[in-house]
Structure 1
Amino acid sequence: MQPILNTYMNTFEQLGLNEQLLNAIKDMGFETPSEVQDKAIPVLLAKDTDMVALAQTGTGKTAAFGFPLIQKIDANSRETQGLILSPTRELCLQITQELKNYSKYVKGLRVVAIYGGASITEQAKEVRRGAHIVVATPGRMQDMIRRNMVDITNIHTCVLDEADEMLNMGFYEDITSILSHTPREKNTWLFSATMPREVASIASEFMSNPYEITVGTKNASSKNVQHEYYMVSGRDRYLALKRLADANPDIFSVIFCRTKRDTQSVAEKLVEDGYNAAALHGDLSQNQRDLVMKSFRNRQIQMLVATDVAARGIDVDDVTHVINYQLPDEIETYTHRSGRTGRAGKSGVSMVIITRSEFRKIGAIERIIKTKFDAKQIPNSEEICEIQLFHLASKIKETEINHEVDNFIPAINDVLKGIDREELIKKMISVEFSRFANYYKNAKDLNAPSVNDRKNRSNDAGSIPSGGDVRYFINVGEKDGYDWKSLKDFLKEQLDLGRDDVFKVDVKESFSFFNTEAAHTEAILSMFSEFKMDGRFINVEISKNSGGRRNGGGGGRRNDNRGKSKGGFGNKRSKGSFDKGKSKRRSNR
């Protein structure tokens, strides 16, 4: 393969794009190209060439091939000139919509989506009306070729998007058959997150001396994603999931299961236990899938339980956590999963729930993604209650007053007459906190015994001796512009500490937690005793819990459709989710 020259341009104007595309880019608010766009677009515009581009999900690959493809289209001709193959109908529809947005100022250019689960005759009519670019799933495309419903014999460009995923799904024969109906002199652009043997085979067989672009390291994970694993007994996997959810009320996550049956089962359990959750898998109708994704994008669903195949169409930049309820059968698939978070420059967390027998897979994944996992422990009841307590207090502080209550205040003051401020605060918080705490009162420890051969890893958060570190509370969080990565950098800079001296950083909405070794405690408390930033005091206190079991973030907003509150904080419709039996739960409804 030819290596591509590193151009490192700074603006879209410098990439060689025409005025129509630049106007569309301006409308969409894009300011500077991503790395894959910066490397790919100039070469694809400058010459007719094949290309292999390796980049993680969420790095802007659609624009990297979409812009040059649109610019090469002759809109005055009715012939199909470009073909894009993608693994799922969700991704197919997503790419189609993005290309339509990119080409809004290119008069007469038409993009048509071809995918299963919809009328093939209607799609054929759309193609006959004129389709300059066809975006298709391999199975439906192959079907339409067999029926002579589409003509791709004159295309000049074929794009294989998410090539590794298409091959993982068993589309090799379909892809090779489709490519056999295209002209030999076309250009093939292959975009993929990983480069397994099958992808290399496609490149070797159907491409001629392609340029290769690698954004980051081959198969490596995004630097914005923190990777964690939790070791539990197999029978406690679901309880562990709920604990991780309850540890942070503001989660916006994708939870991965291996099978459609497990996906549906876990989603149903979460809904029954009061979480805003839903399933996304292949047995849903297209209308059901569209409704689920719409609710997820609008954050009406905060815990989306999905199979790997169904999740390929998820294009949401604000996912805070990916939770691997079960590890994938193919280790390379983990790269796609973790790529659902840490997108568009934001940070994210990828959590893995494993049993002792699955521990060896962690090392295999680390070698592929070239990133180490942090060993974490499922939080206990005190830690969860502490997080929820601070969350409730923050929500109360940040809540805007609804002045419709003003007329009732005199009567309410009469009811509360004689209660001082401190006692009133305690009573108000206890209304929710007591119910939540009581459910967790006798909750068991879910953590499985540690694996001995893991203890010697110097950079493993789980290897710090028990009692050797201190947990701190700090009164800044997400609303102050911090995530786990930027807060860690801030603390290291202020305290003049090393890279690994600040760990287990958990950022909530308006407060956070972090750990250091006990030797740093005096210096930390001294530094923040009178510390001001932008005129505001930044307070650091020792937390009640040491943080040895802290999960590094995670949580769930819960919703009771019947309008009854039952544990949990920060949402009058929320209810708790506890490690009690269902019969116990129903008795308290």
Structure 2
Amino acid sequence: MNAFKELGLEDHLVQAITDLGFETPSEVQEKTIPLLLDEDRDLVALAQTGTGKTAAFGFPMLQKIDINSRTTQGLILSPTRELCLQITNEMKLYGKHCKGLNVTAIYGGASITDQANQVKRGAQIIVATPGRMKDMISRRLVDISKIEYAVLDEADEMLNMGFFEDITEILSYTPEEKSTWLFSATMPKEVSLIAKKFMDSPTEVTVGHKNMGSKNVSHEYFVVGARDRYQALKRLADANPEIFSVIFCRTKRDTQKVAEQLIEDGYNAGALHGDLSQNQRDVVMKSFRAKQIQMLVATDVAARGIDVDDITHVINYQLPDEIEIYTHRSGRTGRAGKTGISMVIASKSEVRKIKSIERIIQKEFIKKEVPNGMEICEVQLKALASKIHDTEINQEIEPYLNDINSLFEDVTKDELIKKFFSAEFTRFFNYYKKSKDLKSQSGSTSDDNYRSDNNSARFFINIGSKDGYDWMKLKDFLRDTLQLNQDDLYKVDVKDSFAFFNTDAAHKDKVLEFFTDFKQDGRFINVEVTEKKSRDRNRGGGGGGRRSGGEGGYGGGRGRGRNDRSKGSSSGFKSESRGRRSDSDSSSSRSPRRSSDFKPSGGGDFSRARKSRR
């Protein structure tokens, strides 16, 4: 007997499962399908992305609704347009033998009139994003007052994206006696609040542990100086020739910048972030699914809903603010029973955050060294040899072989092999032979400690953790406010009511000028240069406690800008000593990827998504 038949599914659904090639139910399907078929109930299911959740709620809904009725009976809310369309397509495949079934997708970026007309034709099931669904309800283009089943798919994702009020309002238009099924990878307090407010004694199903990472994903981290972050990314890509990855950045600006750098260096890369139009998103995702893009650089919000089974690596170019977000990032790989690797490129100061993630996902990170140039050359050479060995012979070259053979008449087989592979090896060898060994930074160097004191300026700013900043949020605020690059700010040290940060000395005047009489929410933000004194002399903190002017670091509204920097002397502040800055891989050196063998086959141009940079 078919394993899905044993779960209680009817023959026409089992036939659809057979047509799709499914043989064995996943754990979440095995646990939820019998429960949902048995009786109408509320359900909370916690499982990672890629575990078959759509089928877990899709088949029970299809079996329970009345196909002969044109009334909307099922509502599925999902966080993104991509996931909405994916669920809709899968529901249609599951119900391919259900004559008269109408599953309609409602999402932004498409004609609301066309979607309303599809609903009017009798949509038993609506799959929708919260924003567009709320809009259609307000225009009275859809009626969900008689639905019997409501599904919140990727509930934590929707709430992370700020849809709490939208979901609350949408569910207020549904009947109280419906069954609500909530599927989520993690269980933050907002998800618990939704469950408490709209569900009646829900049955809870957990696959693995709450917030636990996928068992098919291994986790690695590489410690480098902040200025080596991009070089480390390129080396990780070069060390994995068959990489098919999503690279996560924390901001749209970094996402676009990293993608453009990769494209310029000859990698098949693309950007996915909120500044792209819907058409640009569609083009990038189509290229990524077709593997014309091998390295998709994305923000967390833009990447939500990406469901591609063959992703080999997730690379955290920057760690996220919330640990739950890391769980979602790593869940993009290791899907559909396949294995995957989640990598973190981290500064030394971020290692403690990795330890926190380990405790939550109950997985150990393996510390690894960034491969050096010769290791990469070896990997690339072996990959090329394997590719050539497995290449099928194109018989169309037969007419040209006589000329080619005559060219190599005086060359032995061994010499021919050496010449052939030298063409590829020499390119990588020349690129990497003078590059620095990033391993030397990974074990002992903190975030940019190798910068020279003489080329650095250290600043005091009167905002701190009491104002909601940690070092990462403050770094983002300063970078976006001052229009500096990610690596132009370093040694960010946040205290309760004030903080310190460094820039290269070349930026000192720009920083001071910008923060002259600068206000945020009606409050003056005071920035001053600290004096450089020895660590031992200032170990006691000197005037550190008094520096804030006794008003929570506000500085009493005085001493703002360059003209008043003498007020509230900075002499008590210590300035850490820094070693010499190492030379990074020369940006003028030609990337080994910049050869015709490695250029995108149509993927590089549409992934550019050119935007004006502020």
**Which residue of 1 is the match for residue 381 of structure 2?**
389
CA distance in 2 between partners of 1:451 and 1:35 (Å): 44
Query: 1:570–1:261: structure 2 CA closer, same or farther, 3 Å change rule?
Result: closer
**Which residue of 2 is the match for residue 478 of structure 1?**
none
1:81 aligns with 2:73: yes
Asked if the contact 1:114–1:141 (Cα under 8 Å) also holds between the matched residues in 2, the reply is: yes
Post-superposition CA distance 1:140-197 (Å, at most 9, x none): 1111111111111110111000001111111111111111111111111000001111
**Which residue of 2 is the match for residue 53 of structure 1?**
45
CA distance in 1 between partners of 2:260 and 2:96 (Å): 41
Shift of 1:14: 0.5
Corresponding letter in the other structure for 1:376: K
Corresponding letter in the other structure for 2:597: K
Asked if the contact 1:54–1:215 (Cα under 8 Å) also holds between the matched residues in 2, the reply is: yes
Shift of 1:439: 1.1
The alignment partner of 1:323 has SS state of strand
- Within 5 Å, give how 1:499-518 maps onto structure 2: none
CA distance in 1 between partners of 2:396 and 2:181 (Å): 59
Asked if the contact 1:85–1:161 (Cα under 8 Å) also holds between the matched residues in 2, the reply is: yes
The alignment partner of 1:313 has SS state of coil
**Which residue of 2 is the match for residue 439 of structure 1?**
431
My pick for the range that moved more, 405-414 or 182-191, is 405-414
Asked if the contact 1:395–1:570 (Cα under 8 Å) also holds between the matched residues in 2, the reply is: no
The alignment partner of 2:357 has SS state of helix
Corresponding letter in the other structure for 1:158: A
1:278 aligns with 2:264: no
**Which residue of 2 is the match for residue 412 of structure 1?**
404
**Which residue of 1 is the match for residue 207 of structure 2?**
215
Shift of 1:394: 1.5
The alignment partner of 1:78 has SS state of coil
The alignment partner of 2:229 has SS state of helix
User: Which segments of 5 or more consecutive residues in structure 2 lack a partner in the other structure?
Assistant: 447-589, 601-614
1:34 aligns with 2:26: yes
1:572 aligns with 2:597: yes
Asked if the contact 1:88–1:309 (Cα under 8 Å) also holds between the matched residues in 2, the reply is: no
Query: 1:398–1:571: structure 2 CA closer, same or farther, 3 Å change rule?
Result: farther
1:19 aligns with 2:44: no
2:443 aligned residue (426, 450, 457): 450
CA distance in 2 between partners of 1:431 and 1:191 (Å): 52
CA distance in 1 between partners of 2:113 and 2:389 (Å): 57
CA distance in 2 between partners of 1:567 and 1:174 (Å): 49
Shift of 1:317: 1.0
Corresponding letter in the other structure for 1:450: G
The alignment partner of 1:296 has SS state of helix
CA distance in 1 between partners of 2:58 and 2:285 (Å): 23
Shift of 1:222: 1.1
1:172 aligns with 2:172: no
1:379 aligns with 2:379: no
CA distance in 2 between partners of 1:164 and 1:566 (Å): 40
1:205 aligns with 2:197: yes
**Which residue of 1 is the match for residue 415 of structure 2?**
423
My pick for the range that moved more, 326-335 or 42-51, is 326-335
Post-superposition CA distance 1:41-73 (Å, at most 9, x none): 011011010000000000000000000011111
1:342 aligned residue (300, 319, 334): 334
Structure number with greater Rg is 2
Report the TM-score when normalising by structure 1: 0.75
Post-superposition CA distance 1:526-563 (Å, at most 9, x none): xxxxxxxxxxxxxxxxxxxxxxxxxxxxxxxxxxxxxx
Asked if the contact 2:265–2:594 (Cα under 8 Å) also holds between the matched residues in 1, the reply is: no
1:92 aligns with 2:84: yes
Identity of aligned residues (%): 69
The alignment partner of 1:309 has SS state of helix
The alignment partner of 1:107 has SS state of coil
- Within 5 Å, give how 1:142-157 maps onto structure 2: 142-157=134-149
Shift of 1:288: 2.0
Query: 1:151–1:241: structure 2 CA closer, same or farther, 3 Å change rule?
Result: same
Shift of 1:359: 1.6
CA distance in 2 between partners of 1:567 and 1:417 (Å): 31
CA distance in 1 between partners of 2:445 and 2:301 (Å): 35
CA distance in 2 between partners of 1:568 and 1:354 (Å): 24
CA distance in 1 between partners of 2:165 and 2:594 (Å): 52
1:261 aligned residue (253, 264, 267): 253
1:315 aligns with 2:307: yes
Shift of 1:11: 0.5
1:229 aligns with 2:221: yes
**Which residue of 2 is the match for residue 582 of structure 1?**
none
CA distance in 1 between partners of 2:169 and 2:277 (Å): 28
1:128 aligns with 2:120: yes
**Which residue of 1 is the match for residue 97 of structure 2?**
105
Report the TM-score when normalising by structure 2: 0.72
User: Which segments of 5 or more consecutive residues in structure 1 lack a partner in the other structure?
Assistant: 1-8, 454-564, 576-589
CA distance in 1 between partners of 2:437 and 2:233 (Å): 13
CA distance in 1 between partners of 2:411 and 2:442 (Å): 48
Aligned Cα RMSD in Å? 2.0
Asked if the contact 1:432–1:567 (Cα under 8 Å) also holds between the matched residues in 2, the reply is: no
Asked if the contact 2:75–2:127 (Cα under 8 Å) also holds between the matched residues in 1, the reply is: yes
Shift of 1:396: 2.0
**Which residue of 2 is the match for residue 246 of structure 1?**
238
CA distance in 1 between partners of 2:21 and 2:429 (Å): 46
Asked if the contact 1:85–1:138 (Cα under 8 Å) also holds between the matched residues in 2, the reply is: yes
- How many correspondences in the alignment? 456
CA distance in 2 between partners of 1:65 and 1:40 (Å): 8
**Which residue of 1 is the match for residue 516 of structure 2?**
none
